[in-house]
């Protein structure tokens, strides 16, 4: 091997090691100091390279000797400086007494739109030259998920407390009115109403947790969309009749998707129920199906109150309601659209909404067609009522 080839090989090997380890050494101008404390104890660089955390090694003078690319990307290190003052103080304490320390720190957000990044940090002495190792784990996502979970539990407790409280009050009232049969009948009716609300809420919570934990769907099969539409419309017919709302189905027949018929019917039922609940009497709700390339679309249109533009992106959140009083009055649980969103996602599809206040809304479920292409036969609009 010629000298030039050998030199090339050595340089190449260092370059590969550098990238594999993703550990960078900051540019230094003074190198005399490095000779004394600059070298990492043997094997440390390789160990740091396999750690998932952001890793930083400080020398005896608080200068960054090594930093993983993650540590730089998170903004913990700039040049040869550790940026978080809290972390630097911790490193100095560790250097002083040689004790390993753990802590949690917040660092100003480095990504657009992110206020802070939370880190779980571990700081330890390294070798005998006053070097200190800092390991930092990004906890932001974990914290966010925790907060969402806590919010959900708080919301569920609140939602459960309302009907339970009402039931307890009504039971007391009935006791007091024991010798007034008319009042007893009236309050018993209201008790039934509250008990039904509780049952809907529990049922929706069960459906939501089932669908959230069931991605992908446990036992998918070929589903004929006509069956789904038929089942959902059948279920809502009485509710529509109660408000003299005409339920119409139309579009194209014979469309198929791959999934779970019961879940899809639940999703469509929620959309139809909403269309009825948020529409005035004597209006029309239209359910229509159509092929759209590799997808199948089922849409539910109403002539109802519509949704304010600023609320459109929040309506699929659990327990979000535009008008809480109205939702409760119509027996809403605030979970219907969250269920629809999860059912669509579990099928590899999505749900979208178009709405105009005072004119009405159209919700569209878009699902991947069975076999990759939607095949259908025309069907005239038909009134279900």
Residues lying near ligand ADP in the complex (CB under 6 A) are found at: 270, 274-275, 278, 302, 304-307, 315, 320-323, 327, 332-338, 361
Alpha carbon separation from 22 to 37, 52, 60, 216 (Å, rounded): 21, 11, 23, 35
Cβ-based nearer residue to ligand ADP, 74 or 278: 278
Nearest approach, Cβ of 147 to ligand ADP (angstroms)? 21
Neighbours of 14 (CB within 10 A): 10
Nearest approach, Cβ of 328 to ligand ADP (angstroms)? 8
Rounded CA separation 123/106 (Å): 16
Alpha carbon separation from 85 to 20, 48, 62, 95, 106 (Å, rounded): 30, 23, 11, 15, 11
Contact 57, 37 (CB under 8 A): no
Cβ-based nearer residue to ligand ADP, 331 or 368: 331
Cβ-based nearer residue to ligand ADP, 68 or 303: 303
Nearest approach, Cβ of 327 to ligand ADP (angstroms)? 3
Rounded CA separation 57/67 (Å): 6
What are the residues whose beta carbons fall under 8 Å from the beta carbon of 185, sequence distance 6 or more?
none
Nearest approach, Cβ of 260 to ligand ADP (angstroms)? 20
Nearest approach, Cβ of 14 to ligand ADP (angstroms)? 58
Rounded CA separation 260/263 (Å): 5
Cβ-based nearer residue to ligand ADP, 21 or 283: 283
- Cis check: omega of the bond before 216, within 30 degrees of 0: yes
Rounded CA separation 27/34 (Å): 12
Q: Which phi and psi angles does 81 have, rounded to 5°?
A: -120, 140
Nearest approach, Cβ of 296 to ligand ADP (angstroms)? 21
Check residue 245 and report its DSSP letter. P
Cβ-based nearer residue to ligand ADP, 78 or 314: 314
Nearest approach, Cβ of 225 to ligand ADP (angstroms)? 20
Cβ-based nearer residue to ligand ADP, 1 or 325: 325
Nearest approach, Cβ of 364 to ligand ADP (angstroms)? 12
Cβ-based nearer residue to ligand ADP, 270 or 364: 270
What are the residues whose beta carbons fall under 8 Å from the beta carbon of 13, sequence distance 6 or more?
none
CA 104-105-111 angle, to 5 degrees, is 130
Cβ-based nearer residue to ligand ADP, 59 or 302: 302
**Residue spans of beta strands (DSSP E) within 193-292:** 221-224, 246-253, 256-259, 284-292
């Amino acid at each position: 091997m010629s000298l030039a080839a050998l030199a090339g090989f050595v340089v190449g090997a260092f370059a590969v090691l550098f990238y594999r380890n993703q550990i960078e050494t900051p540019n230094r101008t003074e190198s005399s100091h490095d000779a004394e404390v600059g070298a990492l104890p043997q094997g440390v660089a390789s160990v740091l390279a396999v750690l998932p955390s952001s890793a930083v090694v400080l020398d005896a003078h608080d200068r960054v000797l090594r930093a993983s690319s993650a540590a730089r990307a998170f903004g913990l290190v700039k040049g040869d400086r550790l940026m978080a003052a809290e972390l630097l103080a911790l490193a100095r304490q560790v250097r002083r007494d040689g004790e390993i320390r753990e802590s949690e720190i917040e660092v100003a957000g480095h990504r657009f739109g992110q206020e802070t990044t939370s880190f779980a940090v571990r700081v330890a002495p390294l070798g005998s030259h006053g070097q200190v190792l800092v390991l930092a784990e990004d906890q932001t996502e974990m914290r966010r998920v925790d907060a969402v979970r806590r919010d959900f539990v708080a919301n569920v407790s609140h939602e459960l407390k309302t009907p339970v409280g009402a039931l307890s009050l009504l039971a007391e009232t009935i006791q007091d009115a024991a010798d007034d049969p008319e009042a007893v009948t009236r309050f018993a009716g209201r008790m039934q109403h509250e008990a039904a609300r509780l049952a809907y809420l529990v049922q929706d919570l069960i459906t939501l947790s089932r669908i959230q934990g069931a991605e992908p769907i446990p036992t998918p099969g070929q589903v004929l969309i006509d069956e789904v539409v038929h089942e959902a419309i059948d279920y809502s017919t009485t509710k529509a009749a109660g408000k003299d709302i005409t339920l119409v189905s139309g579009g194209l027949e014979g469309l198929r998707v791959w999934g779970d018929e019961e879940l899809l019917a639940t999703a469509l039922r929620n959309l139809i129920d909403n269309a009825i609940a948020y529409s005035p009497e004597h209006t029309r709700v239209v359910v229509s199906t159509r092929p759209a390339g590799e997808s199948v679309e089922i849409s539910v249109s109403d002539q109802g109150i519509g949704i304010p533009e600023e609320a459109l992106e929040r309506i699929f959140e659990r327990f979000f309601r535009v008008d809480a009083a109205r939702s409760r009055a119509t027996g809403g649980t605030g979970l219907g659209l969250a269920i629809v969103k999860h059912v669509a996602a579990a099928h590899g599809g999505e749900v979208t909404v178009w709405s105009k206040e005072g004119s009405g809304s159209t919700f569209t479920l878009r699902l991947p067609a069975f076999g990759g292409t939607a095949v259908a036969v025309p069907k005239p609009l038909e009134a279900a009522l």
